[in-house]
């Protein structure tokens, strides 16, 4: 029982990280109908940035904050400079740009920081908190940070005029412009926020998977699975999907197929959802009359 | 001086121009109607004014040239466009739709006042305040579209076929309120309609558009009494 609970809790911890990255994917998908395949690599690069700052002697939380801020700016800049020119291009061209971004971030990280695996510090104590036996401090801490980020995003989108304008711009760009909303700025802002959320996910997952240029490959797959399970156009679904995928992955890995095959869980989920319920649990079903 | 003055306007969606040298004006505090059949270029005319498509010619709003201005900046000058198809944010609530209309305004008190004001114009919207706008009826969505435009506190209201697809009673309701808004708040109106009788009842001036050109214009009385207009658009 104790082992089972431990699996569930640590599943929730990684699930929260998948949820954050899935949310970043959904945020961009909602406003552009594109999946940013480079989301994971952008998060990985942010993590290296934080690693350099921490190695340079900066306290963890300052490095955390600064990294999130820089990621936001870089994310917005990528939208403005790289994505904007291909905005109206055919889907395949856009996908190519995303893949190019992925490869570029991956190679540049390898070039600057080498492919050697590095440890990444956790800001939380090594001893489990409150003397519990089920969950490590880092896991508990990352659940807390994830929830904080999710709640902050929810409040922002739900209750601020800017959040409302961003939702409006994603939903109906033409009508938004008629109301005086600068849709282009909203898109850049969305990319910035997605990159910032991704950076948080990268920083939280790095102590678990270790820091190396390919560290987000698996995480991104799980995040895809999470977003698809929840419904690619539904932020709440993506978050819930993230936690579900995290727990499922751990339980199936521990009791059914073993840790070596864990990643297949994500792939099976992706293929399964696409085959049997492409809209996911909470996604919008598109019906077209012919 | 006219609030909106358009001279020699050409506009279209690609190779061919839909509008071919259109000139018209909306007086300060006035209501101008543009009549025309399907495909005459009425919707294109409004889209050209708000910069939603490529256009040539001169468009002056309050004396200021806006033919090169972007849509969102034209809106910020005080031009509210109720588009063809109503442009509702279907997944947002009624109130959120209205708040989007007021996005460019920073003063929360007057926005709250205006919210109450549109609710007195259209009590149905107040009942549906927290409801998803996609679940509203066609008439309610048209009320919402007009209200959303009013939340901008516009100086000029562009209306694209506000009567389209609505029951006659709802149409009467909406046109009554448009008249009130014009009279009470001095909002100038540019109205595009297929229902000529309705438009002429509301407007002071009218233009008749045929295949992208103005074929007749004048006060509503003059246009109404024109033999050709009567036969083609009023049907008697």
Question: Model confidence over A78-115: pLDDT tens digits?
Answer: 999 999 999 888 989 999 999 999 999 999 999 999 99
pLDDT at res. A131: 67
| Distance (Å) from the alpha carbon of B172 to chain A's nearest alpha carbon | 25
Mean pLDDT of B194-204: 91
Q: Do B103 and A171 touch (CB under 8 A)?
A: no
Mean pLDDT of A171-192: 95
Asked whether residue A130 carries a pLDDT value surpassing 80, the answer given is: no
Q: Do B92 and A175 touch (CB under 8 A)?
A: no
CB contacts of A180 in chain B (<8 Å) are 72-73, 75-76, 103-104, 152
pLDDT at res. A6: 87
Q: Do A174 and B87 touch (CB under 8 A)?
A: yes
CB contacts of A167 in chain B (<8 Å) are 92, 96
Asked whether residue B39 carries a pLDDT value surpassing 90, the answer given is: no
Question: How high is the mean pLDDT of chain B?
Answer: 92
- Cα–Cα distance between A62 and B145 in angstroms, integer? 47
B81, B89, B152 ranked by CB distance to A171: nearest: B89
The angle at the Cα of B96, spanning A285 to B47, to the nearest 5 degrees, equals: 80
- Cα–Cα distance between A112 and A247 in angstroms, integer? 35
CA dihedral A226, A232, A234, A239 (to 10 degrees): 10
Asked whether residue A286 carries a pLDDT value surpassing 70, the answer given is: no
The interface predicted TM-score of the complex, written ipTM, equals 0.92
pLDDT at res. A87: 84
Asked whether residue B150 carries a pLDDT value surpassing 60, the answer given is: yes
CB contacts of A164 in chain B (<8 Å) are 92, 96, 99-100, 103
Asked whether residue A159 carries a pLDDT value surpassing 60, the answer given is: yes
Give me the total of CB pairs closer than 8 Å, taking one residue from chain A and one from chain B: 63
Asked whether residue A289 carries a pLDDT value surpassing 70, the answer given is: no
Asked whether residue B23 carries a pLDDT value surpassing 80, the answer given is: yes
Predicted confidence band of residue A268 (pLDDT cuts 50, 70, 90): confident
Question: Model confidence over A194-253: pLDDT tens digits?
Answer: 999 999 999 999 999 999 999 999 999 999 999 999 888 888 899 999 999 999 998 988
| Distance (Å) from the alpha carbon of B134 to chain A's nearest alpha carbon | 12
Q: Do B104 and A178 touch (CB under 8 A)?
A: no
pLDDT at res. A287: 66
| Distance (Å) from the alpha carbon of B81 to chain A's nearest alpha carbon | 6
Q: Any CB–CB contact under 8 A between A167 and chain B?
A: yes
Predicted confidence band of residue A256 (pLDDT cuts 50, 70, 90): confident
A165, A171, A178 ranked by CB distance to B83: nearest: A178
pLDDT at res. A290: 57
Of A7, A40, A10, nearest in space to A22 by CA: A40
Query: For the purposes of burial, counting CB atoms within 10 Å of the CB of B194, is it exposed (0-12), middle (13-18) or buried (19 or more)?
Result: middle
Which residue did the predictor score with more confidence, B51 or A254? B51
Place of tokens 């989920």: A269
Of A228, A225, A222, nearest in space to A280 by CA: A228
CB contacts of B66 in chain A (<8 Å) are none
Which residue did the predictor score with more confidence, A106 or A285? A106
Predicted confidence band of residue A126 (pLDDT cuts 50, 70, 90): confident
Question: How high is the mean pLDDT of chain A?
Answer: 91
Predicted confidence band of residue A273 (pLDDT cuts 50, 70, 90): confident
Mean pLDDT of B98-111: 93
Tokens of B146: 């007009």
Of A198, A203, A199, nearest in space to A142 by CA: A203
Predicted confidence band of residue B234 (pLDDT cuts 50, 70, 90): confident
pLDDT at res. B15: 81
Predicted confidence band of residue A127 (pLDDT cuts 50, 70, 90): confident
- Cα–Cα distance between A249 and A16 in angstroms, integer? 13
Mean pLDDT of B37-56: 92
Least confident segment among A235-244, B58-67, B225-234: B225-234
Question: Model confidence over A43-66: pLDDT tens digits?
Answer: 999 999 999 999 999 999 999 999
CB contacts of A285 in chain B (<8 Å) are none
| Distance (Å) from the alpha carbon of B160 to chain A's nearest alpha carbon | 13
Q: Do B88 and A161 touch (CB under 8 A)?
A: no
């Amino acid at each position: 029982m104790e082992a089972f609970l431990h699996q569930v809790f640590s599943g929730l911890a990684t699930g929260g990280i998948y949820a954050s990255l899935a949310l970043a994917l959904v945020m961009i998908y909602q406003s552009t109908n594109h999946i940013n395949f480079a989301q994971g690599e952008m998060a990985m690069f942010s993590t290296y940035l934080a690693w350099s700052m921490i190695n340079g002697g900066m306290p963890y939380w300052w490095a955390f904050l600064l990294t999130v801020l820089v990621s936001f700016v870089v994310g917005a800049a990528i939208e403005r400079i790289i994505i904007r020119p291909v905005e109206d291009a055919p889907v395949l061209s856009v996908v190519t740009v995303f893949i190019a971004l992925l490869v570029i971030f991956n190679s540049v990280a390898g070039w600057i920081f080498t492919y050697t695996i590095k440890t990444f510090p956790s800001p939380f104590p090594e001893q489990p908190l409150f003397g519990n036996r089920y969950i490590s401090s880092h896991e508990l801490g990352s659940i807390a940070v994830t929830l904080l980020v999710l709640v902050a995003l929810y409040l922002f989108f739900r209750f601020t005029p800017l959040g409302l304008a961003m939702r409006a711009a994603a939903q109906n760009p033409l009508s938004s412009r008629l109301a005086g909303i600068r849709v282009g700025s909203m898109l850049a802002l969305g990319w910035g926020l997605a990159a910032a959320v991704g950076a948080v996910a990268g920083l939280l997952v790095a102590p678990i998977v270790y820091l190396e240029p390919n560290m987000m490959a698996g995480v991104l797959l799980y995040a895809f699975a999470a977003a698809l399970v929840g419904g690619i156009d539904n932020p709440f679904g993506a978050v819930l999907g993230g936690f579900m995928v995290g727990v499922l992955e751990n339980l199936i890995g521990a009791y059914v197929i073993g840790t070596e095959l864990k990643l297949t869980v994500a792939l099976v989920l992706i293929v399964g959802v696409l085959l049997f319920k492409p809209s996911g649990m909470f996604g919008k079903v598109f019906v077209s009359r012919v | 001086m006219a609030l909106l003055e358009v001279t020699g306007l050409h506009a279209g969606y690609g190779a061919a121009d839909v509008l071919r040298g259109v000139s018209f004006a909306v007086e300060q505090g006035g209501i101008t109607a543009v009549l025309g059949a399907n495909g005459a270029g009425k919707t294109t005319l409004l889209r050209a004014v708000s910069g939603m498509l490529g256009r040539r010619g001169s468009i002056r709003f309050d004396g200021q040239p806006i033919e090169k201005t972007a849509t969102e900046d034209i809106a910020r000058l005080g031009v509210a466009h109720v588009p063809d198809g109503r442009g509702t944010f279907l997944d947002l609530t009624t109130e959120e739709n209205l708040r989007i209309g007021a996005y460019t305004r920073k003063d929360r008190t007057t926005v709250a006042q205006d919210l109450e004001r549109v609710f007195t114009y259209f009590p149905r919207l107040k009942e549906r305040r927290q409801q998803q706008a996609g679940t509203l009826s066609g008439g309610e969505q048209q009320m919402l579209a007009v209200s959303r435009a009013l939340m901008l506190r516009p100086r000029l209201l562009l209306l694209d076929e506000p009567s389209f697809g609505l029951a006659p009673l709802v149409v009467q309701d909406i046109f009554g309120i448009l008249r009130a808004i014009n009279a009470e708040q001095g909002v100038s109106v540019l109205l595009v309609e297929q229902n000529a009788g309705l438009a002429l009842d509301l407007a002071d001036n009218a233009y008749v558009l045929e295949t992208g050109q103005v074929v007749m214009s004048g006060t509503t009385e003059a246009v109404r009494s024109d033999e050709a207009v009567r036969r083609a658009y009023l049907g008697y």
